[in-house]
Amino acid sequence: MTSPYSSSANSSQPWDAFDTGWYLDHNYRTLRDDDQVIIDRIGDHFAATCGRFLRGIDVGTGANLYPALAMLPYCDEITLWDRASSNVDWLRHEVMGYSRLWDKFWGELAGKARYRPVRDPRLELALVATVRQGDIFRLPTARWDIGTMFFVAESLSGERAEFELAMAKFVGCLVPGAPFAAAFMAHSQGYVVGERAFPAVPIVADDVARTLEAIAHNVDIHKIDTETPLRQGYDGMILALGHAGRR
């Protein structure tokens, strides 16, 4: 399906018509092997940073709660920041008592030492999460202590400059030294959500590494492949784990 929108810029896309239910069903109804690997690595990355960070943010949350769950033991507040009104409406309801499908995602974290003290993740998320309708390009700087951004920077536009700016805005909203995890679709040709097509920038792991070079440190980039792709038109996932700012 091709996009009816003449520009592939972020501001030209029909974000408020993002079909949250369709996206949730297609992407997260079951726990995929690639998400399982990602969850395991984020859990270990955050655990290795050893602190209690207080303020967390997930940028472009959409219909995905597992990045926020990965920050749960560390945060007194977690901001879920997304531009689409459809996602924001769904999130405001969902975080109040998330549905059972997220139990298997939490199950991947629950066995790790840093996650074991969280007795009731459903209640904890309801207590700490705040949903904000906001634009990644208008994030304040140096405001959060830990952050995640999943399938957003490369999937919000067809313009490479916007991918790079989104990366800078995400890392820049974190205080220097803050741990982060960011995931990307590799070589994405764009994607369909229900009746709508959205553009993407066809990045590879080197693009992520190069973009983070000047704005982050201790960065590890992982390529994650699967034999059962989510859809056609991409080439696996990329996970970047690191810390904000120059060392």
Interface residue with ligand SAM, options 82, 94, 108, 207 (CB under 6 A): 82
CA–CA distance, 210 with 221 (Å, rounded to integer): 11
Q: Based on CB atoms, which residue is closest to ligand SAM, 189 or 217?
A: 189
Site for ligand SAM in 133-192 (CB under 6 A): 135-137, 150-152, 155-156
> Are 54 and 143 in contact, with CB atoms under 8 Å apart?
no
| Min separation Cβ 117 and ligand SAM, Å | 26
84 binds ligand SAM (CB under 6 A): yes
| Min separation Cβ 244 and ligand SAM, Å | 18
Buried b (16+ CB within 10 A) or exposed e, 144-172: bbbbbbbbbbbbbbbbeebbbbbbbbbbb
Determine the interface stretch with ligand SAM among 38-46, 54-62, 100-108, 221-229 (rule: CB under 6 A). Answer: 54-62
What type of residue is 25?
A: D
Residue in 130, 127, 114 with CA at minimum distance from that of residue 45: 114
| Min separation Cβ 195 and ligand SAM, Å | 16
Determine the interface stretch with ligand SAM among 30-38, 78-86, 102-110, 209-217 (rule: CB under 6 A). Answer: 78-86
Interface residue with ligand SAM, options 56, 61, 65, 145 (CB under 6 A): 61
CA–CA distance, 32 with 155 (Å, rounded to integer): 20
Non-local (6+) Cβ contacts of 229 within 8 A are: 236
CA–CA distance, 36 with 89 (Å, rounded to integer): 27
| Min separation Cβ 175 and ligand SAM, Å | 20
Q: Which spans of this chain sit near ligand SAM (rule: CB under 6 A)?
A: 10, 15, 18, 27, 60-62, 64, 82-84, 87, 135-137, 150-152, 155-156
